Structure 1
Amino acid sequence: MDDQQLLVAWRGGDEDAGEVLFERFYDALSRFFRSKAGEHAPDLIQRTFLVLLETQARMREGTSFQAYLFGVARNILLEHYRGKRRDGDRFDVAERSVEDLGPTPTTLLAQAQETRLLLQAMRKIPIESQMILELYYWENMTAKDIGDVLEIPEGTARTRIRRAKQLLEAQLEQLAASPALLHSTVSDLESWARHLRDDLKQRK
């Protein structure tokens, strides 16, 4: 069964279908949450699947299951951030970065210089831009899918993808210890992004 069929079956009481969905998307959700919420990731994954089960009827026609799932995950992450802050109502993912929130407990230890640089730069850009780049590079989402996650038109999503790339490259330029390291990272950004994704997967 495809993802949507599994979700319908799970909602109808088929626990095996729910288990298949959980296993199919666990790694992707783990990457999504670990890079931004560290040790809280397992709890946030569980909450995402609970909300998914309760709200699947709200999935808009034409939206992929993957996009809907990450839309739920995004909302769970924002609730997590706001719950940790007294000024939660003023928390803006388009402005604040993971680094702004303070150190995040995580076992991630990127190996190559390029992946360490990329990790550091990702933590300095706004959380929304970080999400966009992770969905784009790690989950191979299209602009339409990212638009569905963020609940914005596809054209707006394309603009935000470009803007997120620009913000990342600006941070890489500021943080790189040498022009050679900067060139090595930027010239093969997609490859180093995959390396960072794999580092997260190995340390889930």
Structure 2
Amino acid sequence: MDDELLVVRCQLGEREAFAELVGLWHAPVWTFVRRMLDEQRADDVAQEIWVAVLRGLPRLADPGRFTPWLFTIARRTVLNRLRHEYTVTETPGGAEEPSAGDLAEEVVERNELISALAGLPATEREILILFYLEDLSIEDCAQICAIPVGTVKSRLHRARRLLRDHLVERGYQP
């Protein structure tokens, strides 16, 4: 309900409301983008997303659907960036594995998970991120990705299997 009120205030032209909205949603949006791209590109793409949100807010018909709308913009922006990079270079640039260095075992395991996640195809990776890490419903994931609910479920199943296979390959037990 707070998001809905902030969106309405933004639509009425309150700059402070937009600053509050960005304050609430910047971290989740940036985290989603970071999980799809590397850190350097995530900053640029996050800025593009907020510019698109600012431009599109007046046209948002249902302020109660702000979250799926926001992640739809984020998804499109990420895909546009990836498409552009794929056309510019012959070898697509994926997310880089963060360096684990000489850190605690927990950090190494987290890096393994990030690496495994980065190794998934983009469609499966985005569904895992939206569903598990952004905690969105299957219906919201379907709306954001503009695919049927059944497709979300099948992508989730395939993504979990691919992730499990990758981790087992690296010596982790299921």
Structure 1 partner of 2:48:
47
Structure 1 partner of 2:93:
101
CA gap of 1:102–1:145, structure 2 versus 1, over 3 A, is: closer
Report the alpha carbon displacement of residue 58 of structure 1 after superposing the two structures with TM.
5.6
Report the alpha carbon displacement of residue 3 of structure 1 after superposing the two structures with TM.
1.4
Q: TM-score, normalised by structure 1?
A: 0.71
Structure 2 partner of 1:198:
none
Residues 9-24 of structure 1: matches in 2 within 5 Å? 9-24=9-24
Structure 2 partner of 1:30:
30
Report the alpha carbon displacement of residue 62 of structure 1 after superposing the two structures with TM.
9.8
Report the alpha carbon displacement of residue 45 of structure 1 after superposing the two structures with TM.
1.4
Over residues 136-167 of structure 1, what are the superposed CA-to-partner deviations in whole Å (9 max), with x where a residue is unaligned?
22111110111111012223212221121112
Structure 1, unpaired ranges of 5+: 92-98, 187-204
Over residues 143-197 of structure 1, what are the superposed CA-to-partner deviations in whole Å (9 max), with x where a residue is unaligned?
01111110122232122211211121122122x2x3xxx12xx4xxxxxxxxxxx
AA of the residue aligned to 1:64? R
CA gap of 1:108–1:129, structure 2 versus 1, over 3 A, is: farther
AA of the residue aligned to 1:77? V
Is the counterpart of residue 152 in structure 1 residue 150 in structure 2?
A: no
Greater relative contact order structure (CA < 8 Å, 6+ sep): 1
AA of the residue aligned to 1:173? V
Q: Give the Cα separation in 1 of the matches to 2:15 and 2:63.
A: 26
CA gap of 1:107–1:19, structure 2 versus 1, over 3 A, is: farther
Is the counterpart of residue 86 in structure 1 residue 105 in structure 2?
A: no
CA gap of 1:106–1:42, structure 2 versus 1, over 3 A, is: farther
Q: Give the Cα separation in 2 of the matches to 1:108 and 1:65.
A: 36
Structure 2, unpaired ranges of 5+: none
Report the alpha carbon displacement of residue 83 of structure 1 after superposing the two structures with TM.
2.1
Size of the aligned set, in residue pairs, is 170
CA gap of 1:41–1:115, structure 2 versus 1, over 3 A, is: same
AA of the residue aligned to 1:146? C
Structure 2 partner of 1:114:
109
Q: Give the Cα separation in 1 of the matches to 2:161 and 2:97.
A: 27
SS in 2 for 1:64: helix
Structure 1 partner of 2:8:
8
Report the alpha carbon displacement of residue 124 of structure 1 after superposing the two structures with TM.
0.8
Report the alpha carbon displacement of residue 103 of structure 1 after superposing the two structures with TM.
6.0
When the two chains are superposed, the root-mean-square deviation of aligned CA atoms in Å is 3.0
Q: Give the Cα separation in 2 of the matches to 1:12 and 1:63.
A: 16
SS in 1 for 2:128: helix
CA gap of 1:102–1:72, structure 2 versus 1, over 3 A, is: closer
